[in-house]
Amino acid sequence: MRTPRFILFFLLAGLPAASQAEVSGANVPASAVWYFHADFEQMRTGDAGKSLYDWIDGEVFEELREEAGLDVGKEANQVTAFAAPDDGIVMVLDGSVSQTSKDKILAMAVLNGDMETLEAGGKKYYFIADDDADGGAGHRSEMNIGSLENAAYFSFSLKNKIVLTSSKDRMLSLLANNGKIEPPKSAKGSLFVLSADRALIQAGANADEFSDDEDWDSNILKNAKEIALLITDNGEKIGIEAQLVTAKPEMANSLASIARGLISLQVFNDDIEPKISELLQNTSVDVDGSSLRLKIAVDPDVVIETIEN
């Protein structure tokens, strides 16, 4: 089944909350199984981050400009997404999106599916379903949509935001609260969030949700409870931090030993490029209880080379 083109706009813009300068544990729903946040404005105005943004602009945003005439690079400042059992998938794009872009998104929605115009509290929102979606028009509003491939709700009614959800209830909640996510009543059970002053990308996931997936056949994930990623602009270099929480402290120590061993083996590999060797030598691996943390500061060109290869 094809993905509606207007939904592709969001997927290419940033995947996989309320959009803001950065994500914190206070605004990721307690039930979230993953979250993602990218700050394009911070990338554009940073030193090291500019190289990362130029790559995204050339590889992702350029495709949208050519195929749909949408200038995401000019209009998008941040994109934030999360998924939770009760909410499905939620995405919020923050930026000065032009009326022309909104009109194009609506046109793509109409051309690629069956669209309804709805309203709540004086705020307009839309429902789009793939022409081939199961259930039929009479059952669409009752569908428990867990993905964005078959159907979704979206709205332009919040200032400087485009909101996209797979849940009608979450859409109504976002419209009523001006795009804000109610903070968790308790931090217990919530995903942890890595943050910094100049965060470019933040992401995290409940590893248990992926460990049984055949597409994620990873021994590391099988021994992890949670994972989090933080990419920052550190001036001349890009900072990358990954943190993994295991079920037991001894597992964190074992994984740390494996990581240090693999790094050591690669450092003495004559076939490895000098830049990569230097990168590995500057990688720190630390353990604190059940938490394993890897940190590194790397030249932007090495990051781009790694992505492209």
pLDDT at position 131 is 56
Q: Which two tokens stand for residue 220?
A: 């590391």
b/e string for 53-68 if b means 16 or more Cβ within 10 A? Answer: bebbbeeebeebeeeb
**pTM summary value:** 0.80
SS3 294: strand
Which DSSP helix (H) or strand (E) runs through 120?
strand 113-120
pLDDT at position 22 is 62
Question: Cα separation of 296 and 284, whole Å?
Answer: 7
Question: Cα separation of 199 and 36, whole Å?
Answer: 12
3-state helix, strand, coil in the chain (%, to 5): 40, 30, 35
pLDDT at position 18 is 37
pLDDT at position 157 is 95
Structural domains of the chain sorted by starting position, each given as residue range(s) with its CATH number in brackets: 5-12+40-176 (no CATH), 206-308 (3.30.1360)
pLDDT at position 134 is 45
pLDDT below 50 — which residues of the chain?
1-20, 133-146, 215-216
pLDDT at position 143 is 33
